[in-house]
Structure 1
C-alpha cells in the first residue's frame, strides 16, 4: 500500500491479509449529491435526505428547531450523530433517557428507540439496510437494484461488554497520534470521524489503496473533494471500467466499491471535512492496538469469523 512512512496506516501492511476470492466482476461508484437534491421528506423542524450502501442506509438531516426523528424498532444497533455543536439530542431506549450535546455519536441498542433533536445543525443516522422503509427513500436506491459485487453477506460483531444500552462518544477528543483519524465502532458500524483539513490536500501525497471485500462510504461534510477511483483489469475485458475522478461539493455521499483502488483529495480552499463509514466494522483498523477509541466496549469477532478488512 502506498502510504507515506509517517502515515500510521503503513503499519497495516504488516498484518496478514485474509484470503479473498479473486474478483471477476465489479460494481460502480455510487454517489449522491445531497446539495443538489430536494429533501426526501420535510417533517416539522427539519429536512431529510437518504442514501444507501449494500449493508446500510445513511440519513442526512438539517435541523432547525425542535423535531422528533421518530421511533424505530430495529433488530440491531444503529447510530445517530449530532454533527454540530448547536444541535442536541434526546435519546430514549430500553428505559433510558439520555440527553446528548452536540458533536457526539450515539449508539442505540436493538429494539424500540426514539430520538428527538433541538437547535440548529446537521444530524446523521446510520441504520442497517434491513430497514426497508428507509431503503425506499434512498436517492441512489436504483444503484442497488441488484446486490453489489465482492461484498460478502453481512455479519454483526459480538455483543458489547455489559450488554446493549445507549452509548455516547465524544467526537472532539484528540485524534490518533500522527493521524487525523478518530475511530469508533459498534456491532454494525465503524465511523472514522476524520479531523477537518484546512485548504487543499498536497497532490503529491495522496494515498491510493483498495479494499478486497467491503464498501467505503465517504460522507463529505464540508468543502470540496475529488474521489479518484480505478478498477483493476481482469482477463475479461467486457467488465473493465474507466477511471473516475468524481468532483463533489458538501454535502455528498460516495460509496466506493471493492476492490477498486481509490483516494479522496481535498481540493476546497476553505475547510474540508470527510467522514468514512463502514458496515460492518473493519477488522484491519480494529486489529491495531489503540486505534479504535471505544474498543474496550466492543469485542472483535473470533479470528475464524474475521475476514472483512484485509486491506487498508
Structure 2
C-alpha cells in the first residue's frame, strides 16, 4: 500500500488569527514540520518573548530596524537594529525583549514539544518523537550573534548558517525578479523544508508524486503569499519558489537537522568555525 505524503501547509500571519496572544498586544503564529516548529511573532516595543528550560538550541531572526536584547542565563546580546541579525540561543531559559514594534521569528527543533503541539498545522504533519538533544559544539553552548550583511558569497546568494540541531539558508535580499527560465524544481527524499518569506511576494510551486492509486493523485499547487509567511513542504514533494511583483524580496529556507550536503561542503556554511563537522 502506498502511503500518501502530507500536503504542504501555509501560514500567513497578515490575514489569519494568531496561535498565541499576550496581554501586551503581541501575537505569535506557530507552524511545524516533522522535525521543527517556526514561531513568527508580531511583538510590541518592550514586550518579551520567554522560553523556560528549552531543551536545545533555537534560532532567532531579527530584521533590520528592530532593536532587541537577548538574554540567556548571565549572558546577553544587544541588537542595535542596524541590519538583519541571527542569534543562536543556547539550551535552558532565555528571553527576547523588543525595543521596537515588528515581526521577529524563532525556529525550534521538534524537542520543543509544547510549541509543536500548539502549532496551527499540528494535525497535518506528524511530529518526530522527541529524542536526545545534540552534544555541545566546541567551546560549549552560548549566545552567538551574526550580522547577516557581513556574510555574502561572491558566487551565490546563499548564506547557510547552522547550529547543533538545524540549518537555515538566509538568501541575500534582492530587488530584481528571478529568471523564470532558470527555475530549480527539486524534492528532498527524507526531510521536510520550510520557506520563510520576510519581504516581498512569492508563488510557491508544488507537485506531489504519483502513486499506483490514482485516487490519491493531487493537482499541482501554485500558492501566492505575501510577507511574513511560511510554507512547510513535506519530503518528496517537488517544489520551487518564484518571487513576483515589485520591490525587495527575502526568503529563508529552514531544515532540521542540518543538511548533510551543506555541512560537508568546505567553506559553504557561514559559521562552520563555530560548528565544525
**TM over 0.5, yes or no?**
yes
Q: Are the counterparts in 2 of residues 213 and 258 from structure 1 also a CA contact under 8 Å? A: yes
- SS at 2:197 equivalent: strand
Pick from 63, 67, 70 the counterpart of residue 47 of structure 2.
Answer: 67
Q: Are the counterparts in 2 of residues 92 and 98 from structure 1 also a CA contact under 8 Å? A: yes
Q: Are the counterparts in 1 of residues 55 and 112 from structure 2 also a CA contact under 8 Å? A: no
1-side partners of 2:133 and 2:235: how far apart?
A: 19
After superposition, the C-alpha distances for 1:90-120 in whole angstroms (9 at most, x for unaligned) are 2222321222333211111112222212123
Q: 1:94 maps to what in 2? A: 73
Q: Per-residue deviation at 1:156?
A: 5.4
Structure 1 residues without counterparts, runs of 5 or longer:
1-22, 301-312
2-side partners of 1:157 and 1:201: how far apart?
A: 37
Q: 2:89 maps to what in 1? A: 108
- SS at 1:119 equivalent: coil
Q: Per-residue deviation at 1:24?
A: 5.0
- SS at 2:115 equivalent: helix
Determine whether 1:135 maps to 2:112: no
Q: 1:35 maps to what in 2? A: 14
Q: Are the counterparts in 1 of residues 203 and 223 from structure 2 also a CA contact under 8 Å? A: yes
Task: Please give the residue correspondences for 1:257-276 in structure 2 after superposition, counting only pairs within 5 Å.
Answer: 257-276=234-253
1-side partners of 2:129 and 2:46: how far apart?
A: 40
- SS at 1:69 equivalent: strand
Distance 1:265 1:154, change over 3 A: farther
Q: 1:16 maps to what in 2? A: none
Q: Are the counterparts in 2 of residues 63 and 122 from structure 1 also a CA contact under 8 Å? A: yes
Determine whether 1:224 maps to 2:205: no
2-side partners of 1:206 and 1:153: how far apart?
A: 36
Distance 1:214 1:47, change over 3 A: same
After superposition, the C-alpha distances for 1:233-265 in whole angstroms (9 at most, x for unaligned) are 233434433211111111211011111111001
1-side partners of 2:23 and 2:113: how far apart?
A: 19
Distance 1:152 1:27, change over 3 A: farther
- SS at 2:101 equivalent: strand
Q: Per-residue deviation at 1:155?
A: 7.3
Q: 2:62 maps to what in 1? A: 82
2-side partners of 1:233 and 1:184: how far apart?
A: 34
Q: Per-residue deviation at 1:191?
A: 1.2
Q: Are the counterparts in 2 of residues 208 and 261 from structure 1 also a CA contact under 8 Å? A: yes
Q: Per-residue deviation at 1:153?
A: 8.1
- SS at 2:76 equivalent: strand
After superposition, the C-alpha distances for 1:34-93 in whole angstroms (9 at most, x for unaligned) are 211133313426332222221122111223311111242111111112122x21222222
Alignment RMSD = 2.2
Q: Per-residue deviation at 1:293?
A: 0.6
Q: Are the counterparts in 1 of residues 49 and 95 from structure 2 also a CA contact under 8 Å? A: yes
Q: Count residues in correspondence.
A: 273
Worse-superposed segment, 154-163 or 188-197 = 154-163
Distance 1:28 1:155, change over 3 A: farther
Q: 1:200 maps to what in 2? A: 177
Determine whether 1:52 maps to 2:32: yes
Q: 1:168 maps to what in 2? A: 145
Q: 1:6 maps to what in 2? A: none
Q: Are the counterparts in 2 of residues 55 and 154 from structure 1 also a CA contact under 8 Å? A: no
Q: Are the counterparts in 2 of residues 104 and 170 from structure 1 also a CA contact under 8 Å? A: yes
Q: 1:159 maps to what in 2? A: 136
